Amino acid sequence: MIEINTVVLPQPAPLQQFCSSAPQTQAIATDAVPSFPGIAVMPCTTSISIQTFLRSSYDVMPNLRLTEPKIDDVDAYILSQRARPPGYVPA
């Protein structure tokens, strides 16, 4: 388990569980896909934008079909990745 303030998040499932239905390609990994901390610091990233993204359907990737509590967990986790000032101690 990962504990963030008073929210306890389950460890994420293996990526293969979510990507197993994706078409298999010979894609080369690049830095074009941002990390969660990279997403968290984007000016457009808000709880609403994360939840909207997770609830939307996309033609080029499988639908995750997350439950509402899982969407809340992912949202809280991504937002928790924003940089904290030196010496920050969670309340």
What pLDDT, on the 0 to 100 scale, is given for residue 27? 47
Q: Is the pTM of this model over 0.85?
A: no
Q: How many domains does the chain have?
A: 1
* Mean pLDDT of the residues in the chain: 73
- What angle (nearest 5°) sits at the alpha carbon of residue 77, between those of residues 5 and 9? 65
**Does residue 70 sit within a domain?**
yes
List CB contacts of 9: < 8 A, sequence separation 6 or more: 1, 2, 3, 73, 76, 77
47 within domain boundaries: yes
Provide the domain limits for residue 39. Answer: 34-84
75 belongs to a structural domain = yes
Is residue 5 in some structural domain? Answer: no
Give a yes or no: residue 22 inside a domain.
Answer: no
Tens of pLDDT along 9-51? Answer: 455 555 444 455 555 544 454 567 788 888 888 899 999 999 9
Q: Which residue reads 């101690």 in tokens? A: 89
Residues 6+ positions from 19 with CB-CB distance below 8 Å = 62
- Domain annotation covers residue 49: yes
Does residue 44 sit within a domain? yes
* Domain assignment of residue 78, yes or no: yes
